[in-house]
Amino acid sequence: MRIVSAAEIAGLLTHSDLVDALGEAFRAEITVPLRHHHRIPQADGSPEAMLLLMPAWTASGSQQFVGTKIVSVYPGNGAKNLPAIYGSYILSSGETGAPLAVMDGTELTVWRTACASALASRSLSRKDATRHVMVGAGALAPHLIRAHAAVRPIRHVTIWNRSRERAAELAEGLQGTLPGITITVGTDLQAAVGEADIVSCATISTNPVVSGDWLKPGAHLDLVGGYTPAMRETDDAAIRRASLFVDTRTGGLHEAGDIVDPIRRGLITEADVKADLFDLARGTHAGRTSDSEITLFKSVGTALEDLAAAMLVWRSLKS
């Protein structure tokens, strides 16, 4: 059994290859049971911890796989100078159940999350999109920038973060690594969004950060950060103006605050969500219909994406 580190994963994957692999996975027969949540009380008085199990397995193909992402969430770890979240991915043979590899689940997650957004962008953003605004400067931000640049002719990236220092650090780290792309730190978010062809948000905000009134005709809004019904990265104006898409209806209609909250208040209905990544990847929905259409993609993640990424890592190791 192989142990695959974060550095190995980063050395094996490319964003364009993973976008292609995710497209294949959303077209394939892959079983994705409901995610398992297990609460873990803490005897020392720390906040309650959580164990998440995210299984998936292939149902066809020349080689079968079973995979499970195991994520532990310990909110009290900050007081111990430790990360709050740890993740591992176990990939096994679908024919025998024999374990093949244990992979760094955190690294796998940032790669697959960013590339799912890029897969959506292939159908939803304008093909001539050149200006990208990145809202947030955390671990996902550099991957989202690179993933969108892998599928669209991005020439200018503006990074905005509540902490300007964090945005500047990310911009400095990316300088010279993306040939032909100018990277700047934004100070006026409204102005930057107003010029953007693609706007990505990867925050943990519970209140809207980007207003739909700022979006120009033809813009694509990519919402990645909010992963609970209590979180919002954009406002009702965006929900009203945009054509709405999600990664999966199961997740988007139950976990994504930017979709769940407007439905709960009667602003929209479930029928207003036009398609998910299954529909877009399989061609049952065309995606963008005009150059002036504003599109919005909301993702919360799915075990299918983890399995697709792990399979690509495994095949790259074996080639």
Write out pLDDT tens, residues 120-177: 999 999 999 999 999 999 999 999 999 999 999 999 999 999 999 999 999 999 999 9
- 3-class SS letters over 41-99: CCCCCCCCEEEEEEEEEECCCCCCEEEEEEEEECHHHHHHCCCCEEEEEEEEECCCCCE
Q: Is 51 exposed, middle or buried (0-12, 13-18, 19+ CB in 10 A)?
A: middle
Residue 287's Cβ-side half-sphere holds a number of Cα atoms within 13 Å equal to: 20
CATH topology of domain 2-108+304-318: ornithine cyclodeaminase, domain 1 (3.30.1780)
pLDDT of 80: 86
| pLDDT tens sequence across 231-277 | 999 999 999 999 999 999 999 999 999 999 999 999 999 999 999 99
Pick the closest to residue 184 from 166, 160, 158, 161 (CA basis).
Answer: 158
Is the Cβ–Cβ distance between 274 and 195 less than 8 Å?
Answer: no
- Res. 37 pLDDT band, cuts 50 70 90: confident
Mean pLDDT over each residue of the chain, to the nearest integer = 95
Token pair, residue 33, equals: 């049971």
Is the pLDDT at 59 greater than 90? The verdict is no
Q: What is the mean pLDDT of residues 275-288?
A: 98
Amino acid at 305: E
Least confident of 69-78, 90-99, 143-152: 69-78
User: HSE-up of 12 (CA within 13 Å, CB side)?
Assistant: 21
**What is the torsion angle, in degrees rounded to the nearest 10, for the CA atoms of residue 204, residue 210, residue 216 and residue 219?**
10
Work out the burial of residue 128: count CB atoms within 10 Å of its CB; fewer than 13 is exposed, 13-18 middle, 19 or more buried: exposed
SS3 at position 215: coil
Contact by Cβ (8 Å): 186, 210: no
pLDDT the model gives residue 151: 98
Residue 58 has pLDDT above 80, yes or no: yes
Both tokens of residue 88? Answer: 């591992």
Q: What is the pLDDT of residue 88?
A: 98
As a whole-number percent, the residues of the chain with pLDDT over 70 amount to 100
Per-domain residue ranges of the chain:
2-108+304-318, 117-301
Distance, in Å, from the CA atom of 139 to the CA atom of 107, rounded to the nearest integer, reads 9
Distance from C-alpha of 311 to C-alpha of 64, rounded to nearest angstrom = 10
Q: What is the CATH number of domain 117-301?
A: 3.40.50.720
pLDDT digits (tens, 9 = 90+) for 302-314: 999 999 999 999 9
CA proximity to 296, closest of 253, 228, 238: 238
CB-facing half-sphere around the CA of 51: CA atoms within 13 A? 8
Report the percentage of the chain scoring pLDDT > 90.
Answer: 87
Lowest-confidence pick of 5-19, 37-51, 141-155: 37-51
Q: Is the pLDDT of residue 61 over 80?
A: no
First to last CA, the chain: 16
pLDDT at residue 193 in the model: 98
Q: What are the counts of helices (DSSP H) followed by strands (DSSP E) for the chain?
A: 11, 15
Whether the predicted pLDDT of 228 surpasses 90: no
> Is residue 157 within 8 Å of 181, Cβ to Cβ?
yes
What does the pLDDT read at residue 82? 87
Q: What is the mean pLDDT of residues 172-184?
A: 95
